[in-house]
């Protein structure tokens, strides 16, 4: 693999050997991460170039249709970001080795809390109707409170039209590997001061295939509806958003061997992809309502208030007899005769769900932006959050509980000649009341913390920017870590919580350098993150109900890493490139390694633009061995994948018709990614997949 890196980097140097550098920074480079536009995830809504905090921003409209089909694809070229996967249906973000509720996801301006239930739950956000994604890598508790110790994903919905008019778009994509359809239709209109948009999307995907055959029970179904109403005057803006998503997911439980008898007609019909005796699945419903208001005063100050309401429902059905708890209870509940082979409607399934949970969250976020001077900016803000978890099924992963968060912060920005300083502070209080049905006991927990941040940005001439940031962060233990006591079927473990866990506290130093020339953009990031009281699962060596027992424990840890990215144009007018190398190390201070640490990773993309109508891309992904694993992980071998894709634009009735195609894993490589949750079941990742799609706007 080292030879691959040398060859590719040598090629890039040759391509750029005769380039002429410019002393002035420019944004005329072809890069997947935008350098333009306003950043909304940081306090002062500045451009990426002027921001003290290093932020990666991806505009989905600039990516093309294929790369915007999922959040992992959209963030593919952002160094330091990876995803825990369970087949193609579940993707959970990992930022610099930290995941779960150590990463805060903000969607429609409010915290998106559906991932709180466990490792096997992804974002469940359909990318249609999303305009951009911003990534903050590292602690951001000063602005977002508890949990933002790994970073933040800030997902912005599509914008309203800027002028009066009507826009309609239709898009659809077919994936051959799992007979998957991903389609969407959207409407966006503006009439004077009022704006309205609506969008409906569906995903219907069967079981995926790898080198061994069909991986049963990895199917996904999703229905998504988005709606927005906006009102805008000179000094007042109001934006009401609604998003409803219903997702059904198959849950693979068992080891899959050889599937030589796989029916060649899989591509045409996935009705038989998952046999009834292995059928376990989840029904998930997410409802999000946000109402953001902004009032501007005559003294140039501004008050922003955002109200949020989210309702997350989770039901789990299927066979759990192998776990020993419910041999007699579930045999009658899951009658094969009552399950339609094409899994079009799981609501007719006999019996109640084994797991039936509801998570309701209400929130209020506010900030007052003081009048800006030439050299000084200041913001005061705060947040209030109430969250209730309720159980209705016969199994209880986490107890009935209520959580309240209260936080206040202040952030200042000082502008000096060629130097910018940012200083922030925040105080937080979290109260938890829980009722444990196992012991019929009540628990009351309170956590408080003070966090701070300091950053500086130094312009080195006219073409380079140096950033140095320090930030502390905190995370209170979640309900699973505190109160778990039972089999977690999604992870095949018996987990035992610890109600004596302390708050996690992190301190990160991040040094980044970015340089710009007429044809290239180069960036390097070096960071070190130290965590006190890192919470992790510790295997006990014993078993209950034939399941290995894990206790939640704490120890100090550290994560260090290096990210290097280079992108730009070559001497060939039709050829541009983007490449990056990522290295990450995560260790426990008492010895051993942290889980879910991505190995050394190399990425290289070439864009070939031969005409105004056509664009082609060749991508290489190469990952090294990962042998530095935690006590409950298995090592993974190195692998390299080649992807190719293309797009073509046609004019139809004076409107644009875009045609897209791609072949991922071109050579049908047999591999296992280190962050795949199926690797412990000896299940390989997806084989070759051919995608074809179109998008029409009018």
Q: CA-to-CA distance for 625 and 227, rounded, in angstroms?
A: 45
Find the helix or strand (DSSP H, E) in which 557 lies: strand 547-569
Tens-place pLDDT, residues 596-617:
999 999 999 999 988 777 889 9
DSSP-assigned letters across all residues of 117-170: G-TT------STTEEEEEEEES--HHHH-TTTTSEEEEEEEPPPPSSSEEEEEE
Give pLDDT, residue 260: 40
Q: CA-to-CA distance for 154 and 151, rounded, in angstroms?
A: 10
Give pLDDT, residue 437: 73
| Weakest mean pLDDT among 396-400, 435-439, 486-490, 681-685 | 486-490
In the structure, what pLDDT confidence band is assigned to residue 117 with cuts at 50, 70 and 90? low
In the structure, what pLDDT confidence band is assigned to residue 651 with cuts at 50, 70 and 90? confident
Top pLDDT among 489 and 275 is at 489
| Weakest mean pLDDT among 345-354, 415-424, 634-643 | 345-354
Tens-place pLDDT, residues 428-445:
999 999 987 767 888 899
SS3 label, residue 100: helix
Phi then psi for residue 545, to 5 deg, are 55, 40
| Weakest mean pLDDT among 88-97, 287-296, 469-478, 524-533 | 88-97
In the structure, what pLDDT confidence band is assigned to residue 230 with cuts at 50, 70 and 90? very high
pLDDT higher than threshold 60 for residue 552: yes
Give pLDDT, residue 55: 92
Give pLDDT, residue 331: 39
In the structure, what pLDDT confidence band is assigned to residue 253 with cuts at 50, 70 and 90? low
**Alpha carbon of 509 to those of 138, 456, 502, 534, 683: distances in Å?**
9, 12, 23, 18, 38
Which stretch, 64-78, 190-204, 332-346, 479-493, has highest mean pLDDT? 190-204
Find the helix or strand (DSSP H, E) in which 178 lies: none
In the structure, what pLDDT confidence band is assigned to residue 556 with cuts at 50, 70 and 90? very high
Q: CA-to-CA distance for 568 and 521, rounded, in angstroms?
A: 6
pLDDT higher than threshold 80 for residue 696: yes
pLDDT higher than threshold 90 for residue 425: yes
Q: How confident is the model over 340-344, as a mean pLDDT?
A: 42
pLDDT higher than threshold 70 for residue 277: no
Give pLDDT, residue 582: 97
Give pLDDT, residue 659: 92
Q: CA-to-CA distance for 680 and 634, rounded, in angstroms?
A: 7
Q: Which residues contact 136 (CB under 8 A, 6 or more apart)?
A: 41, 42, 53, 55, 151, 152, 154
Q: CA-to-CA distance for 202 and 221, rounded, in angstroms?
A: 8
pLDDT higher than threshold 50 for residue 339: no
Closest CA to 13 of 579, 463, 466: 579
Closest CA to 104 of 144, 72, 142, 65: 144
Averaged pLDDT of the chain: 85
Q: CA-to-CA distance for 4 and 579, rounded, in angstroms?
A: 13
Q: CA-to-CA distance for 510 and 252, rounded, in angstroms?
A: 39
Give pLDDT, residue 335: 40
Q: Which residues contact 543 (CB under 8 A, 6 or more apart)?
A: 494, 549
Give pLDDT, residue 478: 87
Looking at the DSSP bridge assignments, the partners of residue 537 are 552
Give pLDDT, residue 119: 57
Give pLDDT, residue 115: 60
- Residue showing tokens 């007699």: 328
Closest CA to 535 of 474, 618, 585: 474
Q: What percent of the chain has pLDDT over 70?
A: 85
Q: How far out from the chain centre does Cα 568 lie?
A: 26
Tens-place pLDDT, residues 296-307:
999 999 999 999
Tens-place pLDDT, residues 559-587:
999 999 999 999 898 999 999 999 999 99
Phi then psi for residue 591, to 5 deg, are 110, 145
**Contact indicator for 171, 188 with CB cutoff of 8 Å:** no
**Contact indicator for 215, 87 with CB cutoff of 8 Å:** yes
Q: Encoding tokens for residue 37?
A: 């536009």
Give pLDDT, residue 31: 38
Q: How confident is the model over 161-178, as a mean pLDDT?
A: 94
Q: CA-to-CA distance for 628 and 600, rounded, in angstroms?
A: 11
In the structure, what pLDDT confidence band is assigned to residue 267 with cuts at 50, 70 and 90? very low
Closest CA to 206 of 281, 257, 251, 269: 269
Q: How confident is the model over 25-43, as a mean pLDDT?
A: 57
Q: CA-to-CA distance for 611 and 614, rounded, in angstroms?
A: 5
Tens-place pLDDT, residues 633-647:
889 999 999 999 999
**Alpha carbon of 445 to those of 433, 488, 500: distances in Å?**
7, 23, 10
pLDDT higher than threshold 80 for residue 352: no
| Widest distance between CA atoms in the chain | 75
pTM confidence score = 0.87
């Amino acid at each position: 693999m080292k030879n691959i890196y040398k060859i590719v980097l040598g090629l890039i140097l040759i391509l750029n050997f005769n380039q002429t550098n410019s002393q002035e920074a420019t944004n005329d480079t072809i890069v997947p991460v935008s350098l333009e536009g306003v950043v909304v995830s940081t306090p002062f809504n500045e451009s990426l170039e002027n921001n003290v905090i290093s932020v990666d921003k991806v505009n989905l409209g600039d990516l093309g249709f294929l790369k915007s089909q999922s959040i992992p694809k959209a963030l593919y070229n952002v160094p330091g970001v990876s995803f825990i996967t369970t087949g193609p249906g579940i993707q959970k973000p990992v930022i610099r080795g930290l995941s779960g509720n150590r990463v805060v996801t903000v969607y429609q301006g409010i915290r998106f809390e559906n991932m709180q239930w466990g490792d096997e739950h992804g974002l469940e956000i359909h990318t249609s109707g999303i305009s951009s994604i911003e990534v903050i890598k590292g602690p951001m508790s000063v602005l977002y409170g508890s949990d933002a110790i790994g970073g933040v994903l800030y997902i912005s919905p599509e914008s309203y039209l800027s002028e009066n008019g009507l826009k309609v778009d239709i898009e659809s994509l077919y994936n051959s590997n799992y007979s998957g359809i991903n389609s969407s239709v959207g409407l966006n209109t503006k009439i004077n001061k009022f704006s309205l948009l609506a969008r409906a999307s569906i995903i219907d995907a069967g079981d995926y295939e790898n080198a061994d055959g069909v991986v049963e029970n990895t199917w996904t179904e999703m229905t998504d509806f988005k709606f927005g109403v906006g009102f805008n005057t000179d000094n007042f803006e109001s934006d009401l958003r609604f998003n409803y998503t219903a997702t059904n997911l198959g849950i693979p439980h068992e080891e899959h061997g050889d599937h030589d008898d796989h029916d060649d007609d899989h591509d045409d019909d996935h009705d038989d992809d998952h046999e009834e005796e292995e059928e376990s699945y989840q029904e998930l419903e997410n409802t999000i309502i946000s109402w953001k208001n902004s009032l501007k005063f005559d003294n140039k100050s501004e008050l922003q208030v955002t109200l949020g309401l989210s309702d997350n429902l989770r039901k789990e059905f299927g066979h759990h007899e192998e776990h020993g708890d419910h041999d007699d209870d579930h045999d009658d509940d899951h009658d094969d005769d009552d399950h339609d082979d094409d899994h079009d409607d799981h609501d007719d399934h006999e019996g109640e769900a084994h797991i039936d949970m509801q998570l309701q969250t209400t929130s209020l976020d506010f900030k007052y932006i003081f009048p800006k001077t030439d050299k000084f900016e200041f913001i005061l803000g705060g947040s209030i959050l109430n969250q209730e978890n309720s159980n209705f099924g016969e199994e209880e992963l986490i107890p009935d509980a209520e959580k309240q968060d209260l936080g206040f912060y202040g952030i200042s920005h000082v502008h000096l000649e060629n130097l910018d300083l940012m200083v922030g502070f925040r105080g937080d209080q979290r109260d938890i009341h829980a009722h444990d049905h196992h012991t019929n006991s009540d628990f009351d927990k309170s956590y408080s913390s003070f966090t701070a941040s300091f950053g500086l940005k130094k312009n080195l001439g006219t073409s380079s920017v140096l950033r140095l940031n320090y930030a502390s962060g905190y995370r209170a233990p979640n309900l699973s870590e505190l109160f778990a006591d039972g089999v977690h079927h999604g992870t095949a473990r018996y987990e035992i919580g610890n109600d004596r866990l302390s708050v996690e506290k992190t301190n990160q130093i991040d040094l980044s350098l970015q340089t710009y020339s007429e044809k290239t953009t180069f960036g390097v990031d070096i960071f070190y993150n130290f965590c006190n009281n890192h919470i992790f699962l510790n295997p006990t060596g014993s078993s209950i109900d034939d399941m290995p027992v894990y206790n939640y424990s704490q120890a100090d840890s550290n994560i260090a890493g290096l990210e290097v990215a280079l992108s730009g144009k070559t001497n060939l007018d039709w050829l541009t490139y983007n490449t990056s190398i990522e290295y990450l190390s995560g260790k426990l201070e008492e010895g051993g390694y942290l889980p879910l640490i991505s190995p050394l990773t190399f990425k290289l993309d070439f864009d070939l633009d031969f005409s105004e109508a056509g664009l082609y891309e060749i991508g290489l992904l190469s990952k090294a061995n990962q042998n530095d694993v935690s006590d409950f992980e298995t090592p993974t071998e190195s692998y390299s994948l080649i992807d190719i894709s293309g797009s073509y634009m046609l004019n139809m009735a004076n409107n644009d018709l875009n045609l897209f195609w791609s072949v991922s894993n071109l050579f049908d490589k047999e591999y296992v990614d280190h962050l795949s949750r199926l690797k412990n079941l000896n299940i390989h990742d997806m084989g070759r997949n051919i995608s074809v799609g179109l998008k029409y706007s009018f």
